[in-house]
Amino acid sequence: MKATTILYRLTSALLLLSPTASSFGPFLPNKIRGTKLSMTENAKKTEEPAAKPDAADNPLNTKRFESEHTMGDGENALKYKAVADWITLRKINKPVAEMFFTAYFLQPGDASRPITFVFNGGPGAASAYMHMGALGPKRVSLGTNGELPPPPTKVVDNDETWLGFTDLVFIDPIGTGFSRSLDRSKKAKEAEETEGKGPQENAEFWDIDRDLSSLGEFIRRFLSSNGRWSSPVFIAGESYGGYRVAKLARRLQDGLGVGLNGAILISPAIEVDALTGNDYDLTYWLETVPAYAATALHHKRGDHGEKSLEEVLADAEAFARDDLSRWLIMGSVLGSAEIDRIAQRMSNLIGIDAAVLLRSNGRIDSTTYVRELLRDERRLCGHYDASLTTTDPYPDRPTYQGPDPTLAAIDRYYTGAIHQHLLGTLGVESDLDYQLLRLDINGKWKDDKRKHVFDKTQGAMDDLRYGMSLNEHMKVFVCHGVYDLVTPYFHSERLVGLMKLTEEQRERSMTTRHYEGGHMFYSWDESRRAFRNDIQKLYAEATGSVDV
Protein backbone atom coordinates (compact mmCIF):
# COMPACT_ATOMS: atom_id res chain seq x y z
CA MET A 1 0.00 0.00 0.00
CA LYS A 2 1.45 3.36 -1.02
CA ALA A 3 1.95 6.16 1.46
CA THR A 4 -0.33 8.36 -0.63
CA THR A 5 -3.08 5.78 -0.16
CA ILE A 6 -2.88 6.07 3.63
CA LEU A 7 -2.88 9.85 3.40
CA TYR A 8 -5.97 9.62 1.20
CA ARG A 9 -7.63 7.49 3.83
CA LEU A 10 -6.66 9.85 6.61
CA THR A 11 -8.32 12.78 4.91
CA SER A 12 -11.77 12.07 6.19
CA ALA A 13 -12.54 13.41 9.40
CA LEU A 14 -11.10 13.05 10.36
CA LEU A 15 -9.71 13.05 11.07
CA LEU A 16 -10.54 15.88 11.41
CA LEU A 17 -10.25 16.81 14.85
CA SER A 18 -9.66 19.24 13.47
CA PRO A 19 -9.62 23.06 14.12
CA THR A 20 -10.96 25.21 16.93
CA ALA A 21 -10.08 27.46 19.77
CA SER A 22 -12.38 28.08 22.63
CA SER A 23 -12.93 28.70 26.29
CA PHE A 24 -15.73 27.22 28.35
CA GLY A 25 -17.86 28.45 31.15
CA PRO A 26 -19.78 27.02 34.11
CA PHE A 27 -20.76 23.45 34.73
CA LEU A 28 -22.67 21.82 31.89
CA PRO A 29 -25.58 19.66 33.07
CA ASN A 30 -25.57 16.05 31.96
CA LYS A 31 -28.56 16.73 29.73
CA ILE A 32 -29.23 19.97 27.88
CA ARG A 33 -32.80 20.38 26.78
CA GLY A 34 -32.32 21.71 23.28
CA THR A 35 -34.76 23.86 21.37
CA LYS A 36 -34.63 24.85 17.76
CA LEU A 37 -33.10 28.26 17.23
CA SER A 38 -35.29 30.82 15.54
CA MET A 39 -33.19 33.36 13.68
CA THR A 40 -35.82 36.03 14.21
CA GLU A 41 -36.79 35.29 17.80
CA ASN A 42 -33.79 33.73 19.54
CA ALA A 43 -30.77 35.06 17.67
CA LYS A 44 -29.54 38.60 17.65
CA LYS A 45 -27.23 39.05 14.69
CA THR A 46 -24.71 41.77 14.04
CA GLU A 47 -22.29 42.11 11.20
CA GLU A 48 -19.08 44.02 11.75
CA PRO A 49 -16.11 44.55 9.49
CA ALA A 50 -13.07 42.62 10.61
CA ALA A 51 -10.26 44.65 12.10
CA LYS A 52 -8.20 44.97 8.93
CA PRO A 53 -6.41 48.24 8.26
CA ASP A 54 -7.13 48.70 4.57
CA ALA A 55 -8.25 46.99 1.38
CA ALA A 56 -4.71 45.97 0.52
CA ASP A 57 -4.68 43.86 3.68
CA ASN A 58 -8.10 42.37 2.87
CA PRO A 59 -8.15 41.25 -0.79
CA LEU A 60 -10.65 38.47 -0.02
CA ASN A 61 -13.15 41.07 1.26
CA THR A 62 -13.65 39.15 4.49
CA LYS A 63 -16.00 40.34 7.23
CA ARG A 64 -16.64 39.47 10.84
CA PHE A 65 -19.99 37.87 11.64
CA GLU A 66 -21.29 37.80 15.21
CA SER A 67 -24.55 36.38 16.50
CA GLU A 68 -26.05 35.56 19.88
CA HIS A 69 -27.90 32.32 20.60
CA THR A 70 -29.61 30.39 23.36
CA MET A 71 -29.63 26.61 23.59
CA GLY A 72 -32.12 25.00 25.95
CA ASP A 73 -34.23 26.83 28.50
CA GLY A 74 -34.47 27.55 32.19
CA GLU A 75 -31.47 26.92 34.41
CA ASN A 76 -30.05 24.51 31.83
CA ALA A 77 -29.92 27.14 29.08
CA LEU A 78 -26.62 27.95 27.41
CA LYS A 79 -26.33 31.51 26.14
CA TYR A 80 -23.42 31.99 23.79
CA LYS A 81 -21.93 34.29 21.20
CA ALA A 82 -20.85 32.84 17.85
CA VAL A 83 -18.10 34.53 15.84
CA ALA A 84 -17.14 33.62 12.28
CA ASP A 85 -14.13 35.53 11.02
CA TRP A 86 -10.68 35.36 9.47
CA ILE A 87 -7.29 36.01 11.06
CA THR A 88 -4.58 37.41 8.81
CA LEU A 89 -1.31 35.47 8.75
CA ARG A 90 1.83 37.43 7.92
CA LYS A 91 5.34 36.90 6.67
CA ILE A 92 7.81 39.71 7.32
CA ASN A 93 4.82 41.95 8.13
CA LYS A 94 3.20 41.20 4.77
CA PRO A 95 -0.25 39.53 4.73
CA VAL A 96 0.08 36.08 3.17
CA ALA A 97 -3.13 34.27 4.15
CA GLU A 98 -6.56 34.59 5.73
CA MET A 99 -7.38 31.70 8.10
CA PHE A 100 -11.08 31.18 8.77
CA PHE A 101 -12.45 30.16 12.14
CA THR A 102 -15.74 29.72 13.94
CA ALA A 103 -15.67 30.44 17.68
CA TYR A 104 -18.21 30.07 20.46
CA PHE A 105 -18.04 32.03 23.71
CA LEU A 106 -20.35 31.27 26.63
CA GLN A 107 -22.10 34.42 27.86
CA PRO A 108 -21.45 36.46 29.83
CA GLY A 109 -17.90 36.37 28.51
CA ASP A 110 -15.05 35.35 30.79
CA ALA A 111 -11.48 35.98 29.65
CA SER A 112 -10.20 33.35 32.09
CA ARG A 113 -12.36 30.45 30.86
CA PRO A 114 -10.65 27.47 29.24
CA ILE A 115 -10.32 27.84 25.48
CA THR A 116 -9.90 24.95 23.06
CA PHE A 117 -8.45 25.16 19.55
CA VAL A 118 -9.75 22.38 17.30
CA PHE A 119 -8.72 21.16 13.85
CA ASN A 120 -9.35 18.12 11.73
CA GLY A 121 -6.89 16.24 9.62
CA GLY A 122 -6.54 14.80 6.16
CA PRO A 123 -4.43 16.70 5.50
CA GLY A 124 -6.94 18.60 3.40
CA ALA A 125 -9.98 18.53 5.70
CA ALA A 126 -11.77 21.51 7.19
CA SER A 127 -12.83 21.51 10.83
CA ALA A 128 -16.47 20.78 10.05
CA TYR A 129 -16.26 17.16 11.18
CA MET A 130 -15.38 17.95 14.78
CA HIS A 131 -17.42 21.15 14.63
CA MET A 132 -20.67 19.56 13.43
CA GLY A 133 -20.07 16.03 14.68
CA ALA A 134 -18.99 16.24 18.31
CA LEU A 135 -17.94 19.51 19.95
CA GLY A 136 -20.02 22.42 18.69
CA PRO A 137 -23.49 23.51 19.87
CA LYS A 138 -25.07 22.07 16.71
CA ARG A 139 -24.44 18.69 15.10
CA VAL A 140 -25.45 16.63 12.11
CA SER A 141 -28.24 14.15 12.85
CA LEU A 142 -27.26 10.52 12.22
CA GLY A 143 -28.57 7.18 13.46
CA THR A 144 -28.02 5.89 16.99
CA ASN A 145 -24.86 4.03 15.95
CA GLY A 146 -23.77 6.34 13.15
CA GLU A 147 -26.13 4.97 10.51
CA LEU A 148 -26.68 7.31 7.58
CA PRO A 149 -30.27 8.58 7.17
CA PRO A 150 -31.86 9.54 3.84
CA PRO A 151 -31.12 13.08 2.60
CA PRO A 152 -31.41 15.97 3.14
CA THR A 153 -29.07 16.60 6.04
CA LYS A 154 -30.70 17.55 9.33
CA VAL A 155 -28.93 19.72 11.93
CA VAL A 156 -29.95 19.43 15.61
CA ASP A 157 -28.88 20.82 18.98
CA ASN A 158 -25.86 18.98 20.34
CA ASP A 159 -26.57 17.93 23.92
CA GLU A 160 -22.94 16.77 24.19
CA THR A 161 -21.34 20.07 23.18
CA TRP A 162 -18.17 21.00 25.06
CA LEU A 163 -19.34 24.61 25.30
CA GLY A 164 -20.47 24.08 28.89
CA PHE A 165 -16.87 23.75 30.10
CA THR A 166 -14.74 25.47 27.45
CA ASP A 167 -15.00 28.12 24.79
CA LEU A 168 -14.39 26.66 21.35
CA VAL A 169 -12.45 27.79 18.29
CA PHE A 170 -12.67 25.68 15.13
CA ILE A 171 -9.84 26.37 12.68
CA ASP A 172 -9.80 25.63 8.95
CA PRO A 173 -6.20 25.17 7.71
CA ILE A 174 -5.20 27.11 4.61
CA GLY A 175 -6.91 25.81 1.48
CA THR A 176 -9.80 24.28 3.44
CA GLY A 177 -13.09 25.82 4.53
CA PHE A 178 -13.00 29.55 3.77
CA SER A 179 -9.24 29.80 4.47
CA ARG A 180 -7.05 30.97 1.59
CA SER A 181 -3.58 32.27 0.93
CA LEU A 182 -3.32 35.70 -0.69
CA ASP A 183 -1.02 34.65 -3.53
CA ARG A 184 -3.56 35.30 -6.25
CA SER A 185 -1.28 34.53 -9.17
CA LYS A 186 -2.68 34.58 -12.69
CA LYS A 187 -1.79 30.91 -13.17
CA ALA A 188 -3.56 29.90 -9.96
CA LYS A 189 -6.72 31.83 -10.83
CA GLU A 190 -6.82 30.32 -14.34
CA ALA A 191 -6.49 26.83 -12.88
CA GLU A 192 -9.38 27.49 -10.53
CA GLU A 193 -11.65 29.08 -13.11
CA THR A 194 -10.99 26.95 -16.20
CA GLU A 195 -9.83 23.59 -14.87
CA GLY A 196 -12.01 23.26 -11.80
CA LYS A 197 -9.04 22.32 -9.65
CA GLY A 198 -10.09 24.24 -6.57
CA PRO A 199 -7.94 26.95 -4.95
CA GLN A 200 -4.37 26.40 -6.17
CA GLU A 201 -2.66 29.38 -4.58
CA ASN A 202 -2.24 27.78 -1.16
CA ALA A 203 0.56 25.30 -1.90
CA GLU A 204 3.06 27.14 0.32
CA PHE A 205 1.09 25.87 3.32
CA TRP A 206 0.86 22.27 2.15
CA ASP A 207 3.82 20.83 3.97
CA ILE A 208 4.26 19.63 7.52
CA ASP A 209 6.31 22.50 8.92
CA ARG A 210 4.50 25.39 7.21
CA ASP A 211 1.16 23.96 8.24
CA LEU A 212 2.26 23.78 11.87
CA SER A 213 3.73 27.27 11.83
CA SER A 214 0.48 28.69 10.43
CA LEU A 215 -1.56 27.02 13.17
CA GLY A 216 0.87 28.26 15.81
CA GLU A 217 0.68 31.80 14.43
CA PHE A 218 -3.12 31.63 14.37
CA ILE A 219 -3.32 30.54 18.01
CA ARG A 220 -0.99 33.31 19.20
CA ARG A 221 -2.82 35.97 17.19
CA PHE A 222 -6.20 34.73 18.41
CA LEU A 223 -5.14 34.84 22.06
CA SER A 224 -3.85 38.38 21.59
CA SER A 225 -6.72 39.81 19.54
CA ASN A 226 -9.35 38.32 21.86
CA GLY A 227 -7.61 39.02 25.18
CA ARG A 228 -7.37 35.34 26.11
CA TRP A 229 -3.83 35.01 27.44
CA SER A 230 -5.35 34.43 30.90
CA SER A 231 -7.26 31.36 29.72
CA PRO A 232 -6.21 27.72 30.22
CA VAL A 233 -5.39 26.59 26.67
CA PHE A 234 -6.23 23.20 25.17
CA ILE A 235 -5.71 21.84 21.66
CA ALA A 236 -7.71 19.02 20.07
CA GLY A 237 -7.24 17.32 16.71
CA GLU A 238 -8.62 14.33 14.85
CA SER A 239 -6.71 11.88 12.62
CA TYR A 240 -3.89 13.90 11.02
CA GLY A 241 -5.13 16.58 13.38
CA GLY A 242 -3.88 14.32 16.18
CA TYR A 243 -0.46 14.39 14.51
CA ARG A 244 -0.70 18.18 14.53
CA VAL A 245 -1.60 18.17 18.23
CA ALA A 246 1.41 16.03 19.11
CA LYS A 247 3.73 18.32 17.13
CA LEU A 248 2.18 21.50 18.53
CA ALA A 249 2.50 20.19 22.09
CA ARG A 250 6.19 20.95 21.64
CA ARG A 251 6.14 23.85 19.20
CA LEU A 252 3.60 26.03 21.02
CA GLN A 253 5.40 25.69 24.34
CA ASP A 254 8.98 25.72 23.06
CA GLY A 255 9.29 28.86 20.96
CA LEU A 256 5.82 30.41 20.80
CA GLY A 257 5.31 30.88 24.52
CA VAL A 258 1.85 29.28 24.69
CA GLY A 259 1.50 27.01 27.71
CA LEU A 260 -0.92 24.12 27.32
CA ASN A 261 -3.21 22.64 29.93
CA GLY A 262 -4.22 19.77 27.71
CA ALA A 263 -3.65 18.01 24.37
CA ILE A 264 -6.44 15.81 23.01
CA LEU A 265 -5.64 13.37 20.21
CA ILE A 266 -8.73 11.88 18.56
CA SER A 267 -8.23 8.84 16.29
CA PRO A 268 -4.68 10.12 15.76
CA ALA A 269 -2.19 9.17 13.06
CA ILE A 270 0.92 9.81 15.15
CA GLU A 271 3.61 7.77 13.41
CA VAL A 272 2.41 7.73 9.80
CA ASP A 273 5.04 5.29 8.49
CA ALA A 274 3.69 2.60 10.83
CA LEU A 275 0.21 2.81 9.29
CA THR A 276 1.23 0.95 6.14
CA GLY A 277 2.70 -2.52 5.85
CA ASN A 278 4.90 -4.68 3.64
CA ASP A 279 6.35 -8.19 3.66
CA TYR A 280 9.30 -7.22 5.84
CA ASP A 281 7.87 -5.36 8.80
CA LEU A 282 5.42 -6.12 11.60
CA THR A 283 3.69 -3.16 13.13
CA TYR A 284 0.82 -2.54 10.71
CA TRP A 285 -0.15 -6.20 10.59
CA LEU A 286 -0.12 -6.53 14.37
CA GLU A 287 -1.90 -3.28 15.16
CA THR A 288 -4.93 -3.93 12.96
CA VAL A 289 -5.81 -7.35 14.41
CA PRO A 290 -7.73 -6.14 17.52
CA ALA A 291 -9.86 -3.85 15.31
CA TYR A 292 -10.54 -6.79 12.98
CA ALA A 293 -11.55 -8.93 15.96
CA ALA A 294 -13.92 -6.23 17.25
CA THR A 295 -15.46 -6.00 13.78
CA ALA A 296 -15.90 -9.76 13.55
CA LEU A 297 -17.64 -9.82 16.92
CA HIS A 298 -19.96 -7.00 15.86
CA HIS A 299 -20.97 -8.87 12.69
CA LYS A 300 -21.15 -12.23 14.50
CA ARG A 301 -18.26 -13.72 12.56
CA GLY A 302 -15.40 -15.80 13.95
CA ASP A 303 -15.63 -17.94 17.08
CA HIS A 304 -15.95 -15.82 20.22
CA GLY A 305 -18.47 -17.79 22.24
CA GLU A 306 -20.17 -15.55 24.80
CA LYS A 307 -17.21 -13.19 25.25
CA SER A 308 -17.72 -9.47 25.66
CA LEU A 309 -16.11 -6.84 23.44
CA GLU A 310 -13.51 -6.12 26.14
CA GLU A 311 -12.63 -9.83 26.39
CA VAL A 312 -12.32 -10.20 22.62
CA LEU A 313 -10.05 -7.16 22.39
CA ALA A 314 -7.84 -8.55 25.18
CA ASP A 315 -7.60 -11.91 23.36
CA ALA A 316 -6.71 -10.21 20.08
CA GLU A 317 -4.07 -8.00 21.67
CA ALA A 318 -2.45 -11.03 23.33
CA PHE A 319 -2.56 -12.94 20.04
CA ALA A 320 -0.91 -10.05 18.17
CA ARG A 321 1.86 -9.84 20.76
CA ASP A 322 2.70 -13.54 20.84
CA ASP A 323 1.52 -15.99 18.15
CA LEU A 324 1.12 -13.54 15.28
CA SER A 325 4.36 -11.70 15.97
CA ARG A 326 6.24 -15.04 15.98
CA TRP A 327 4.67 -15.99 12.64
CA LEU A 328 5.49 -12.64 11.03
CA ILE A 329 9.05 -12.65 12.38
CA MET A 330 9.96 -16.25 11.62
CA GLY A 331 7.87 -16.95 8.52
CA SER A 332 8.23 -20.47 7.14
CA VAL A 333 10.97 -21.25 9.67
CA LEU A 334 8.18 -21.69 12.20
CA GLY A 335 7.04 -24.91 10.52
CA SER A 336 3.78 -25.76 8.78
CA ALA A 337 2.04 -27.37 11.77
CA GLU A 338 2.58 -24.33 14.00
CA ILE A 339 1.63 -21.95 11.20
CA ASP A 340 -1.61 -23.87 10.62
CA ARG A 341 -2.44 -23.64 14.33
CA ILE A 342 -1.81 -19.89 14.43
CA ALA A 343 -3.80 -19.31 11.23
CA GLN A 344 -6.79 -21.14 12.67
CA ARG A 345 -6.59 -19.14 15.90
CA MET A 346 -6.44 -15.94 13.85
CA SER A 347 -9.42 -17.08 11.78
CA ASN A 348 -11.45 -17.63 14.95
CA LEU A 349 -10.58 -14.12 16.10
CA ILE A 350 -11.07 -12.02 12.96
CA GLY A 351 -13.60 -14.09 11.01
CA ILE A 352 -11.54 -14.61 7.84
CA ASP A 353 -11.08 -18.14 6.49
CA ALA A 354 -7.77 -19.72 7.50
CA ALA A 355 -6.98 -20.49 3.85
CA VAL A 356 -6.98 -16.76 3.07
CA LEU A 357 -4.68 -16.12 6.03
CA LEU A 358 -2.26 -18.85 4.97
CA ARG A 359 -2.19 -17.54 1.42
CA SER A 360 -1.24 -14.07 2.69
CA ASN A 361 1.17 -15.35 5.36
CA GLY A 362 -0.87 -13.71 8.12
CA ARG A 363 -0.72 -10.26 6.52
CA ILE A 364 -4.27 -8.99 5.97
CA ASP A 365 -4.61 -5.35 4.97
CA SER A 366 -7.83 -3.47 5.61
CA THR A 367 -8.85 -3.41 1.94
CA THR A 368 -8.81 -7.21 1.89
CA TYR A 369 -10.54 -7.47 5.24
CA VAL A 370 -13.49 -5.17 4.52
CA ARG A 371 -14.30 -7.19 1.40
CA GLU A 372 -13.68 -10.69 2.70
CA LEU A 373 -15.48 -10.59 6.05
CA LEU A 374 -19.03 -10.44 4.64
CA ARG A 375 -18.27 -11.54 1.09
CA ASP A 376 -20.90 -14.28 1.28
CA GLU A 377 -23.53 -11.59 1.92
CA ARG A 378 -22.11 -9.31 -0.80
CA ARG A 379 -21.47 -6.62 1.82
CA LEU A 380 -18.49 -4.28 2.17
CA CYS A 381 -17.45 -3.02 5.60
CA GLY A 382 -16.30 0.57 6.06
CA HIS A 383 -12.62 1.38 6.47
CA TYR A 384 -13.36 4.20 8.90
CA ASP A 385 -16.11 2.38 10.76
CA ALA A 386 -16.17 -1.32 9.95
CA SER A 387 -19.46 -1.78 11.78
CA LEU A 388 -21.15 0.01 8.84
CA THR A 389 -21.67 -1.86 5.57
CA THR A 390 -22.92 -1.36 2.03
CA THR A 391 -23.58 -3.55 -1.01
CA ASP A 392 -20.54 -4.54 -3.08
CA PRO A 393 -21.44 -3.30 -6.58
CA TYR A 394 -18.76 -5.47 -8.23
CA PRO A 395 -18.74 -8.83 -6.41
CA ASP A 396 -17.32 -10.68 -9.43
CA ARG A 397 -14.24 -8.48 -9.85
CA PRO A 398 -10.95 -9.73 -8.40
CA THR A 399 -10.11 -6.54 -6.51
CA TYR A 400 -11.98 -4.16 -4.23
CA GLN A 401 -13.56 -1.43 -6.37
CA GLY A 402 -16.70 -0.51 -4.45
CA PRO A 403 -17.37 2.63 -2.40
CA ASP A 404 -16.33 3.02 1.19
CA PRO A 405 -19.59 3.21 3.17
CA THR A 406 -18.03 5.67 5.61
CA LEU A 407 -15.61 8.09 3.90
CA ALA A 408 -17.38 8.16 0.54
CA ALA A 409 -20.85 8.31 2.07
CA ILE A 410 -20.58 10.66 5.02
CA ASP A 411 -19.09 13.75 3.38
CA ARG A 412 -22.40 14.85 1.88
CA TYR A 413 -23.94 14.99 5.36
CA TYR A 414 -21.19 17.23 6.73
CA THR A 415 -21.22 19.37 3.60
CA GLY A 416 -24.93 19.97 4.08
CA ALA A 417 -24.59 20.54 7.82
CA ILE A 418 -21.77 23.08 7.69
CA HIS A 419 -23.45 25.07 4.92
CA GLN A 420 -26.78 25.12 6.78
CA HIS A 421 -25.04 26.26 9.94
CA LEU A 422 -22.58 28.84 8.61
CA LEU A 423 -24.70 30.38 5.86
CA GLY A 424 -28.03 30.01 7.62
CA THR A 425 -27.79 30.04 11.42
CA LEU A 426 -24.64 32.19 11.65
CA GLY A 427 -25.39 34.32 8.57
CA VAL A 428 -21.90 34.11 7.05
CA GLU A 429 -21.59 35.69 3.61
CA SER A 430 -18.59 35.06 1.37
CA ASP A 431 -17.77 34.81 -2.31
CA LEU A 432 -15.50 31.88 -1.45
CA ASP A 433 -16.56 28.25 -1.79
CA TYR A 434 -16.41 26.35 1.51
CA GLN A 435 -13.98 23.47 0.94
CA LEU A 436 -14.90 20.56 3.24
CA LEU A 437 -12.43 17.94 2.03
CA ARG A 438 -9.75 18.36 -0.63
CA LEU A 439 -7.97 15.24 -1.78
CA ASP A 440 -5.74 17.33 -4.05
CA ILE A 441 -4.19 18.91 -0.95
CA ASN A 442 -3.72 15.46 0.48
CA GLY A 443 -1.93 14.27 -2.63
CA LYS A 444 0.39 17.30 -2.70
CA TRP A 445 1.32 17.25 0.99
CA LYS A 446 5.07 17.41 1.57
CA ASP A 447 7.45 16.56 4.36
CA ASP A 448 9.82 19.52 4.19
CA LYS A 449 12.44 17.78 6.31
CA ARG A 450 12.54 14.62 4.20
CA LYS A 451 15.60 15.45 2.14
CA HIS A 452 16.57 11.97 0.99
CA VAL A 453 14.71 8.93 -0.31
CA PHE A 454 15.91 6.92 2.71
CA ASP A 455 14.59 9.46 5.21
CA LYS A 456 11.41 8.47 7.00
CA THR A 457 8.34 10.67 7.27
CA GLN A 458 8.47 12.78 10.42
CA GLY A 459 6.80 11.12 13.35
CA ALA A 460 5.20 13.07 16.17
CA MET A 461 5.61 10.89 19.26
CA ASP A 462 8.95 12.42 20.22
CA ASP A 463 7.41 15.89 20.09
CA LEU A 464 4.59 14.78 22.39
CA ARG A 465 7.11 13.31 24.86
CA TYR A 466 9.14 16.50 24.71
CA GLY A 467 6.07 18.64 25.36
CA MET A 468 5.08 16.48 28.35
CA SER A 469 8.56 16.85 29.81
CA LEU A 470 8.62 20.59 29.13
CA ASN A 471 5.28 21.08 30.91
CA GLU A 472 4.50 18.39 33.46
CA HIS A 473 1.09 19.96 34.15
CA MET A 474 -0.16 19.27 30.62
CA LYS A 475 -2.77 16.50 30.39
CA VAL A 476 -2.74 14.22 27.34
CA PHE A 477 -5.84 12.33 26.20
CA VAL A 478 -5.58 9.76 23.38
CA CYS A 479 -8.73 8.07 22.09
CA HIS A 480 -10.00 5.90 19.25
CA GLY A 481 -13.01 3.97 18.03
CA VAL A 482 -12.50 0.21 18.15
CA TYR A 483 -13.96 -0.36 14.65
CA ASP A 484 -11.54 2.09 13.01
CA LEU A 485 -9.30 0.25 10.52
CA VAL A 486 -7.50 3.38 9.28
CA THR A 487 -5.93 4.52 12.56
CA PRO A 488 -6.42 1.46 14.79
CA TYR A 489 -6.48 1.99 18.54
CA PHE A 490 -3.76 -0.61 19.11
CA HIS A 491 -1.36 1.61 17.14
CA SER A 492 -1.60 4.31 19.80
CA GLU A 493 -1.58 1.81 22.66
CA ARG A 494 1.71 0.42 21.39
CA LEU A 495 3.23 3.87 20.95
CA VAL A 496 2.15 5.06 24.40
CA GLY A 497 3.71 1.92 25.85
CA LEU A 498 7.00 2.81 24.16
CA MET A 499 7.13 6.45 25.34
CA LYS A 500 9.25 5.55 28.38
CA LEU A 501 6.94 7.54 30.63
CA THR A 502 7.55 7.32 34.33
CA GLU A 503 4.88 5.73 36.49
CA GLU A 504 4.04 9.19 37.80
CA GLN A 505 3.64 10.56 34.26
CA ARG A 506 1.35 7.69 33.28
CA GLU A 507 -0.78 8.24 36.35
CA ARG A 508 -0.87 12.03 36.29
CA SER A 509 -0.63 13.09 32.65
CA MET A 510 -1.58 10.34 30.18
CA THR A 511 -5.07 8.94 29.55
CA THR A 512 -6.12 6.52 26.81
CA ARG A 513 -9.77 5.72 26.12
CA HIS A 514 -11.44 3.79 23.34
CA TYR A 515 -15.09 3.77 22.39
CA GLU A 516 -17.51 1.79 20.27
CA GLY A 517 -17.57 3.24 16.80
CA GLY A 518 -15.03 3.99 14.13
CA HIS A 519 -12.72 6.83 13.16
CA MET A 520 -15.56 9.22 14.00
CA PHE A 521 -16.73 7.25 17.01
CA TYR A 522 -18.64 10.31 18.19
CA SER A 523 -21.21 9.45 15.49
CA TRP A 524 -22.45 6.84 17.98
CA ASP A 525 -24.76 8.45 20.54
CA GLU A 526 -23.49 6.53 23.58
CA SER A 527 -19.85 7.00 22.58
CA ARG A 528 -20.32 10.74 22.07
CA ARG A 529 -21.83 11.02 25.56
CA ALA A 530 -19.06 8.97 27.15
CA PHE A 531 -16.43 10.99 25.28
CA ARG A 532 -17.88 14.31 26.44
CA ASN A 533 -18.03 13.09 30.05
CA ASP A 534 -14.42 11.85 29.95
CA ILE A 535 -13.22 15.15 28.49
CA GLN A 536 -15.19 17.19 31.03
CA LYS A 537 -13.43 15.28 33.79
CA LEU A 538 -10.06 15.89 32.10
CA TYR A 539 -10.69 19.65 31.99
CA ALA A 540 -11.65 19.68 35.66
CA GLU A 541 -8.38 17.94 36.55
CA ALA A 542 -6.31 20.12 34.21
CA THR A 543 -7.72 23.39 35.54
CA GLY A 544 -8.37 22.40 39.15
CA SER A 545 -11.89 23.73 38.74
CA VAL A 546 -14.97 22.27 40.42
CA ASP A 547 -17.14 24.24 37.97
CA VAL A 548 -15.94 22.33 34.91
Residue 548 domain-assigned (yes or no): no
Whole-number Å distance between alpha carbons of 185 and 183: 6
Q: Percent of the chain at pLDDT above 90?
A: 70
- The whole-chain average pLDDT of the chain stands at 86
Question: Confidence class of residue 23 from pLDDT cuts 50, 70 and 90?
Answer: very low
- Residues 47 and 138 occupy one common structural domain: yes
Average pLDDT over residues 24-34: 25
CA separation for the pair 6, 491 (Å, rounded): 14
Peptide bond into 108 cis (omega under 30): yes
pLDDT at 409: 84
Q: Are residues 177 and 240 in the same domain?
A: yes
Please indicate, yes or no, whether residues 493 and 367 belong to a single structural domain of this protein: no
Residues in Cβ contact with 402 at an 8 Å cutoff, skipping those fewer than 6 apart: 371, 380, 390, 391, 392, 393, 394
Of the residues 356, 383, 404, which one is the last residue of a structural domain? Answer: 404
Instruction: Say whether both 268 and 298 belong to one domain.
Output: no
Mean pLDDT for 1-29 is: 34
- Name every residue whose Cβ is closer than 8 Å to that of residue 181 and which is 6 or more positions away in sequence: 96, 97, 174, 175, 201, 202, 204, 205
Give pLDDT, residue 156: 97
* pLDDT score of 228 more than 50: yes
- Same domain? For 206 and 280 the reply is no
Inform me whether the pLDDT recorded for 216 exceeds 70.
yes
Domain that holds residue 466: 3-273+413-543
pTM confidence score: 0.86
In the chain, the number of structural domains is 2
For residue 403, the model assigns a pLDDT of 86
533 shares a domain with 425 = yes
496 and 377 share a domain? no
- Asked if residue 125 and residue 17 are part of one domain, the reply reads yes
Residue 222 shares a structural domain with residue 86? yes
Whether residues 94 and 213 fall in one domain? yes
User: Three-state SS for 495?
Assistant: helix
21 or 146: which carries more pLDDT confidence? Answer: 146
User: What pLDDT, on a 0 to 100 scale, did the predictor assign at position 379?
Assistant: 96
Question: Which H/E stretch holds residue 84?
Answer: strand 78-91
pLDDT for 1 equals 41
- Name the least confident of 49-53, 260-264, 330-334: 49-53
Q: What is the pLDDT of residue 399?
A: 86
pLDDT at 7: 41
Residue 229: inside a domain, yes or no? yes
Do 76 and 123 lie in one domain? The reply is: yes
Would you say residue 509 has pLDDT above 70? yes
Write down which residue in 385, 404, 423 finishes a domain.
Answer: 404
- For residue 132, being part of any structural domain is answered with yes
Q: Which amino acid is at 279?
A: D
Across 192-205, average pLDDT: 62
- C-beta atoms surrounding 279 within 10 Å: 10
The pLDDT of residue 96 is above 60: yes
